[in-house]
Amino acid sequence: EAGVTQFPSHSVIEKGQTVTLRCDPISGHDNLYWYRRVMGKEIKFLLHFVKESKQDESGMPNNRFLAERTGGTYSTLKVQPAELEDSGVYFCASSQGVGAGVYEQYFGPGTRLTVT
Amino acid sequence: ELKVEQNPLFLSMQEGKNYTIYCNYSTTSDRLYWYRQDPGKSLESLFVLLSNGAVKQEGRLMASLDTKARLSTLHITAAVHDLSATYFCAVDVSGGGADGLTFGKGTHLIIQP
């Protein structure tokens, strides 16, 4: 069974540009999460989808970040316009839906974003 | 705001030695997760601890949870080089289990031959 995949693995963009990150969760997982790790800091929760609905977006830093999960499958995270402080590693995770019990989150390899 | 503190943040040890990584958290929770990350790789789930007194073991790693003390430990027995990695603890305070996790900063573990 394929794990969580993320694309691209690395992205280098200039300040002011737009970048879109993609996450494909494990097939059948209703819950999808985005996290970010800025260098030297903790991994921070950004938001949580249940199927196509945003369950919790309390961790989104500001309105330059837009996440979507159309159809409840893959998700995209767009940063527009990117700022220097957006640099970091963006992780996606997924877990099974209601009734699965443990809700163990499985993480993707991350996208390393560098804004210059 | 929930805070999760790990210590130490960096640990260099020799093969064959024992050591413990500590994870303290500031708000009541009965779900705690330990993850391992190798450089450039995904976070790999090691343990899910779901109740007070929970203890889980896998090979040379053993994790425990004391919800009253808000403390989890990850104990390494007779360390081997292959265990070199960064270890994260993470807490879920929702109770429902499906919410976002709050992570510690991670413990960078180097095991010298």
Q: Which residues of B touch A4 (CB under 8 A)?
A: 42
On the question of pLDDT at B1 being above 90, the answer is no
Average pLDDT of the segment spanning B45-65: 92
| Residue in B with minimal Cα distance to A47 | B100
Give the tens place of pLDDT for each residue, A18-66. Answer: 999 999 999 989 999 999 999 878 999 999 999 999 988 989 999 999 9
Q: Is B113 exposed, middle or buried (0-12, 13-18, 19+ CB in 10 A)?
A: exposed
| Residue in B with minimal Cα distance to A102 | B97
- Going by the DSSP 8-state scheme, the letter that residue B54 receives in this structure is -
On the question of pLDDT at A98 being above 70, the answer is no
Q: Which residues of A touch B4 (CB under 8 A)?
A: 42
On the question of pLDDT at A100 being above 70, the answer is no
Integer Cα distance of B98 and A66 in angstroms? 21
Interface probe, candidates B93, B99, B107, chain A, greatest A C-beta count within 10 A: B99
Buried b (16+ CB within 10 A) or exposed e, B11-23: bebeeeeebebeb
* Contact yes or no for A45 and B100 at CB 8 A: yes
Which pLDDT score, from 0 to 100, does residue A27 have? 92
Which pLDDT score, from 0 to 100, does residue A83 have? 97
- Residue A88 near residue A38, CB atoms below 8 Å: yes
* Contact yes or no for B100 and A47 at CB 8 A: yes
Confidence of residue A114 (pLDDT cuts 50, 70, 90): very high
User: Cα angle at A60 between A57 and A64, to 5 degrees?
Assistant: 125
Structure tokens at B94: 């929702």
Average pLDDT of the segment spanning A2-21: 96
Give the tens place of pLDDT for each residue, A69-90. Answer: 988 899 999 999 999 999 999 9
Integer Cα distance of A15 and A116 in angstroms? 6
Give the tens place of pLDDT for each residue, B63-113. Answer: 999 989 999 999 999 999 999 999 999 998 765 567 889 999 999 999 998
Helix, strand, coil tally for chain B in percent (to 5):
5, 55, 45
Which pLDDT score, from 0 to 100, does residue B99 have? 80
Q: Which residues of B touch A105 (CB under 8 A)?
A: 33, 45, 101
